[in-house]
Amino acid sequence: MAGASVAYCAAQCGLTVTLLDAGSPRSSDVPAALLNPVRGQSGSAPAQSLDGLRCTWALIAELEQAGFSVPHGQTGVLRPVPDARTERKWRANLPGELTHTWRDPEQPGWHRVLEIPEGGWVSGAALVKALKMASGAALVRGQATAVTSSSVRLATGEVLSADLVVCCGGSAGAGTLSPAGTHRAGSLLLLDQAPIQPLSFGAYLSPGVVGGVLGATYEAPATSHAEALARGLPLRSLSWLLDKGSALTPLSGTRITGRWTGVRLSPLNFGPDEQGVWHLSGLGSKGFLLGPLLARALVESLLTA
Ligand SMILES: Cc1cc2nc3c(=O)[nH]c(=O)nc-3n(C[C@H](O)[C@H](O)[C@H](O)COP(=O)(O)OP(=O)(O)OC[C@H]3O[C@@H](n4cnc5c(N)ncnc54)[C@H](O)[C@@H]3O)c2cc1C
């Protein structure tokens, strides 16, 4: 998502870009990502999340207008809260400029429901594919092992030269392309059905390209991508996920058709380092919410630097 967004924004500014990708497992292939500005269980919206949300929707509309298919639903997001205390906390923390309504609960166990009409979901894999194609970037399959501001050495020994190098690489690239960070794995269960509006509290239940998903990133932090990925989906996590899903909506009659696991990286690494290499990685759980906005800001900054 980071690399494809940077390539797309760069192309829009008239830059010719080469997009190098090792083809390792990427968190951007998430079958359905929420575009939800109100994060976690605090009811707060991180800086730039409303701008990011609007930027991602505008980008999806632009891609669809250009003929690319990006399955998504601009349906709003529902955030059920379990008790009056949480509702009070959220009311105090919600940003003034957020359009929202409080609704009465439809499910036993919910206290109230916050509806965020500007939210929704998108197919991560489809969005990345469309961005890559629309960018017109030269796509090179290869693994970078060393990077300077004007060259990239590949595992094969080949060296690619460039006027400028922007490093993305997510969790798999941390340590080589960006400083080591915290890697957190999460899984989505693929479902044969889902509610029309995504629901989120603890875990999220969302429509997807086919059926729906129930997921979250909840595993204990790991120090590397490989370590996080190797944990897979432990039984206790499966049970936690099903509990969270059942608290959102009754799951009886719903079939699990598959599973997808990814690893996200934090903290955010944005801008040039001391060697003049530019970075956009560590998007955490907000890659689709903030990725396009930050990519645009990065390209604008490097053009004026
Ligand atoms: C279970 C789960 C659910 C999520 N849900 C949401 C959500 O609802 N909403 C949301 O906004 N975000 C969500 N996220 C977070 C989002 O998926 C990530 O923030 C985002 O995809 C990160 O994108 P990225 O481009 O930084 O990394 P990635 O998508 O991991 O891409 C990294 C790329 O770098 C390449 N690479 C790595 N190393 C090298 C190398 N040495 N040389 C060349 N190429 C290399 C890889 O091949 C890959 O293509 C979720 C994440 C997970 C795991």
pLDDT tens-digit readout, 157-185: 999 999 999 999 999 999 888 888 999 99
Do 131 and 19 touch, CB atoms closer than 8 A? no
Instruction: Give 283 Cα–ligand 1 centroid separation in angstroms.
Output: 8
Partnered with residue 79 across adjacent β-strands are 114
3-state secondary structure (DSSP) of residue 299: helix
Return the residue whose CA atom lies nearest to atom 35 of ligand 1: 169
Instruction: Give the Å distance between the CA of 241 and the centre of ligand 1.
Output: 21
Q: What is the 3-state secondary structure (H, E, C) of 122-143?
A: ECHHHHHHHHHHHHCCEEEECC
Report the chain's mean pLDDT, rounded to a whole number.
95
In ligand 1, the atom with minimum distance to the C-alpha of 287 is 19
| Ligand 1 pocket residue status of 32, Cβ below 6 Å | no
pLDDT at 182: 95
Is the pLDDT score of 257 beyond 90?
A: yes
Residue-range domain boundaries for the chain: 2-304
Cβ-contact 32, 212 below 8 angstroms: yes
Q: Predicted confidence band at 218 (pLDDT cuts at 50, 70, 90)?
A: confident
Q: Is 173 in the pocket of ligand 1 (CB under 6 A)?
A: yes
CATH superfamily entry for domain 2-304: D-Amino Acid Oxidase, subunit A, domain 2 (3.30.9.10)
